[in-house]
Amino acid sequence: MANSKGPTTEINYVYRGTFIHSTQQTPLQILEDEVLGVDTDGKIAFIGKAAELDSLSQTFGFSPSEVIQLAQHEFFMPGLVDTHIHAPQYSYAGTALDMPLLEWLNKYTFPVESRFKDLEFAQQVYSQVVKRTLRNGTTTACYFATIHTDASLLLAQIANDFGQRALVGKVCMDRNNSVKHYKETNQESQDETCRFIAELLNKKYPLVRPVVTPRFALSCTGALMGQLGAIAKNNNLHIQSHISENVEEVKLVKELFPESKSYTDVYHKHNLLTDKTVMAHGCYLSDEELALFRETGASLSHCPNSNISLCSGMLNVRNVLKHNVKLGLGTDVAGGYSASMLDAVRRTLDTSKVLTIQDPEYDTLTFEEVFRLATLGGSQALSLDDRTGNFEVGKDFDALRVNVAAADGPIDLIKIEEPKIILEKFLNLGDDRNIVEVFVAGRKVVPFTKQ
């Protein structure tokens, strides 16, 4: 029997073909020869067997002749969720990977980010990163911007204009001695964060929300972190930051906050660990810290490209999952050199295999599990899984139409393959040429129609 919620709004369009997604119960569910209807609100109205097409058409009031048929080598999958990406750093992605984290921040990152008070420069970079990530199938992105409020508001506007679902954070930092002028006073950071939140919420963008963003413990005083925790609580907002990315960073945090039991405890003491918090990296978290993540409902973003590129460390994903901590994947541009979540999928698998080489008893991640992390897992990590992440009725239709046999694409199909093989080929070999269409909340955002 079809899964449906009954006709509440008009059906906008119906697709027939293969749909591949994850559920809480299974990392990979393949639905062959199914029909899926999207209503005028952009939500999934029904999904069911094609054999039930006639009854579905009568129930939901559409004509079977209007159904769009997918080609043989096409399938739909949920949109990819990037749980951690630095939009301003896209301007130098693919370069500057020759030093560890803290030196890298001082030499490359802070000087570039300080330029974003120039709104023309910000417009150029932010338009490019939103377009690039959408073309590569990122339907939801959790962005760090810079300390500049107006440029951060511009990033939110650009994401809205292109139709991407986004969390956008004005970065907060009242400690930074490496780049003159690229820091705020405690009061400036509070005031500008409140202005950013108020102005962004006032825009009433349907898919773009503010996220409170202390850069990390080394660039924020305890006083500022505590105030940001209160701001997030008072406005019921998401929080994002970094944690336990690099050995030297962990050591310095311990020296800076000797009264705290751990890096995680620093954030916990300042009310920054909530069920709407996502922390990037976590390579060196203890089991006790992971238990605190689980207890508070906070999430981790696994950014394997960055962890490898900056020689920071390797996250034991299996241990995170064993602790029942919510986990998604992130590109972490530009510490990660690729803005494509397909790269994050591949590097996640690579990291898991390296851990297996080091310890043959290690339980290597499967591609099916990593597929779930890149889609449903990401939506859970961002506390958006009530809206997106898979093809459940009532959720927004955030989806990629994938054609593994796209002309001049990177995949050579030697014979007709089953859907699971086709998905695996796409995850390992595919790129934006295979992503024929991208939908966010039912709206086709790729191919681009403007800008």
C-beta of residue 413 within 8 angstroms of C-beta of residue 74: no
Residue-wise pLDDT for 130-165, tens only, equals 999 999 999 999 999 999 999 999 999 999 999 999
Instruction: Just give the CATH number of 80-382.
Output: 3.20.20.140
Average pLDDT over residues 47-59: 97
Residues 6+ apart with CB under 8 A from 198: none
Please calculate the CA angle 168-99-119 and round it to the nearest 5 degrees. 35
Average the pLDDT over each of 2-6, 16-20, 140-144 and give the range with the smallest value: 2-6
Which pLDDT score is estimated for 9?
A: 81
Which H or E element spans position 67?
Answer: none
450 compared with 440, residue with greater pLDDT: 440
Residue-wise pLDDT for 300-318, tens only, equals 999 999 999 999 999 999 9
Q: Give the span between the Cα atoms of 101 and 215, in whole angstroms.
A: 13
C-beta of residue 388 within 8 angstroms of C-beta of residue 138: no
Please calculate the CA angle 225-230-234 and round it to the nearest 5 degrees. 150
Residues 6+ apart with CB under 8 A from 126: 87, 88, 151, 154, 155, 158
Q: Give the span between the Cα atoms of 109 and 232, in whole angstroms.
A: 26
Q: What superfamily would CATH give domain 11-78+390-446?
A: Urease, subunit C, domain 1 (2.30.40.10)
Token reading at 216: 């990390």
Give the CA dihedral 178, 179, 180, 181, nearest 10 degrees.
-120
Q: Give the span between the Cα atoms of 102 and 177, in whole angstroms.
A: 12
Q: Give the span between the Cα atoms of 376 and 286, in whole angstroms.
A: 25
Average pLDDT over residues 58-64: 96
C-beta of residue 11 within 8 angstroms of C-beta of residue 44: no
Give the pLDDT band (50/70/90) at residue 1: very low
Report whether pLDDT(451) > 70: no
Q: Where exactly are the structural domains of the chain?
A: 11-78+390-446, 80-382
Which pLDDT score is estimated for 416?
A: 86
Residue-wise pLDDT for 171-201, tens only, equals 999 999 888 789 999 999 999 999 999 999 9
Which pLDDT score is estimated for 125?
A: 98
Which pLDDT score is estimated for 8?
A: 65
Which pLDDT score is estimated for 282?
A: 98
Which pLDDT score is estimated for 36?
A: 98
Q: Among residues of the chain, what percentage have pLDDT more than 70?
A: 98
State the average pLDDT for the chain: 96
Report whether pLDDT(2) > 80: no
Average pLDDT over residues 392-416: 96
Global pTM? 0.97
Which pLDDT score is estimated for 449?
A: 83
Which pLDDT score is estimated for 5?
A: 57
Nearest to 301 by CA among 225, 382, 231: 382
Give the pLDDT band (50/70/90) at residue 4: low
Which pLDDT score is estimated for 233?
A: 98
Report whether pLDDT(7) > 70: no
Q: Give the span between the Cα atoms of 16 and 30, in whole angstroms.
A: 13
